[in-house]
Structure 1
Amino acid sequence: MDRKKLVLLLGALIVAIGTAFAARSMLTGAAAPQVDAAALPAQPEGPKVLVAKRALPVGTIITADAVGFQLWPQEMVQDAYFLDGEADMAKLIGTVVRNPITAGEPVTQGSLVSPGDRGFLAAALGPGMRAVTVPVSAQTGVGGFIFPGDRVDLMLTQAVSGDGQELKATETILRNLRVLATDKFTETETTPDGKTVVRNVSTVTLEVTPKIAEKISVAQTVGTLSLSLRSIADNQSELERAVASGAVDLPEGATKEQEEKLLRQAMARPQDGASTFVTGGDVSRFQRSSMPVLSQAAPAQSGGQPVAAGPAVPSGPTVRVTRGKDTTVESVNRGAGALLDRTGQGARAVGRTAPTALTTLR
């Protein structure tokens, strides 16, 4: 093969390769828009409206994670909807759901109640719950650091009178009560720069059951009520203990959503169980730790004479001395230490011949 034919053959090969690449590029460019157009779903047209991200029952306080904006068909948008760009989210946060809203349902203006509006407090109450107000001060109200939405425990302090020194005691009678309002404010006040305003309040309104409302009404006549602020983590730890002990019953076969709903209800429930208490004797050695005994004459029976009073109980410190089967109670004067020492030595001496017990009473 001569050189001329070889050059022509190489030229034809180069032209064929270039033509093939050009044809492939043209075919790829023409087919790509069709593939992209088929792959992309049709974008809905219309404004964004405020919808619920989860089910919002009556009494739910709106938070930033409870609602969000979503595209909505233009022909289905109503005047009562909150539109993106027009709704003020700062004013919506803290409002309360008046009518139940399902997940994905648009939030309407009539379904929310704002703080200060008529019926706000009634809407904030859960089904079957009541609102009661208790008086507080800077000392009994945690110095003003209690705000709507917090959880508190209720303590009762009282003095029980009787013969001798009165018994001073404080007991926690109720737990996990939700604060609905402080004074007449149902939301936390903030300064223009976003800082929370702390102020002393004179009343606190709590969400309770009807039975607890009756107990609080009686407790206000018994002694002084004070509040203790609960930690956010308390409910979770107490709930775990309740589930482990069986106090909270999770049905078998329940879905995760059902379990979460039951647990949320248990965490929000006021606790009216066994109370804990502290007496003056737990605080100071010079205070009583037991109930004082009343020595008054009992009321007269109908048509009869007054019942004779029991033996008077000595006032002040006493000791109970038991010798054999006989027990006597003796008062201790200012020289209590010396008397106890002498009595103890005498008891040890007598103990060699007769059983003797010495018990100190408060």
Structure 2
Amino acid sequence: MPLRKPHISPFTALIVGAILLGIGVAWLVMHTLQSREAAAAAALRARLEKNRVQVVVPTRNLKPGSIADSADMAARSVPHDVIYPQTLTAATWGNYSGRVLTRPVYKGRPLLSTDFGPVAKRSFAGELAPGERALTIDVSGINSIANLIVPGNRIDLMLLAKGPQGTEELPLLRHIRVLATGHNTTPVAYATIHGAPAHITRYGSITLAVTPQQTAKLALAAQVGQIRVALIPQHHPASGPLPTLLKDDLFGTPAGPQGVASPPMVQYIIGSPGRNKVSELPESMPMQTPTSTASPQSRVIAREQQELSTLTHLVHAATPTAGVPSDHSTAELPKGYP
């Protein structure tokens, strides 16, 4: 027996189609509204986040002396225009993590940089370049250019010591950088009043940046003699080296066997038999330099007069006071003279 096909009326089909179409339209409308809502919310969050910043807040109260650890901190987003310049943000927290608090902080309140102690300075060794050494030498007011040397200056060092030919000046080191003057490691800005420094920091030592070889040389030189300091011009540092100088070079005369010039001597025998005195005078006695207008004859006369005056002085020194005749008496010749 053949099956009968169900009979669906056109009205029923129309109603079913309308319902399905309404469901599709409703889903499409809801999807569109949700997408627009999500886009609007994202745009709003972006605008809000643009003017907000992540600050660091404690999750519990902390007392002074506590260590600021990341386990006790959290990030909170707040408007940028309501925080202080000293407020710690998530970007700057790494510089303060692990440091000691010097003020009490409270749960939920943003941390400030003033809640911590001052930042410890790096070690003085950080001022040295690779391969350099720091060496301190004693200085006086004179040997420190009247305490006007400041960190960053360049100096030359000289050594004053006794050598085989007497006192010598030897150039020791050149273009040495000054690291510190006393305990000061930063250049001092001098405010001048009428051209004179208004404030000068006194110190008794300077610390220099030297190589290992210069360190040994300078330490040994301090035991051998006296070290003197010469300041190098700031804008023209490429000056020539210091010369080596002997003490006798100051007077322009060559040194003798003991470092002192010795002119040839002439012996004079003055006195009477049994009371002779032997004296020595330089072969050429110094005399006043005549003027350029004096004649050769006058210069010879002046020289003879000076030599005669010197000889007369020696005669008076060799004759006893009691035996010197007065100006109005005649000197008696000793017995035995013809």
TM-score when normalising by structure 2: 0.40
Higher radius of gyration, 1 or 2: 2
Q: Using CA pairs below 8 Å that are at least 6 residues apart, which structure has the higher relative contact order?
A: 1
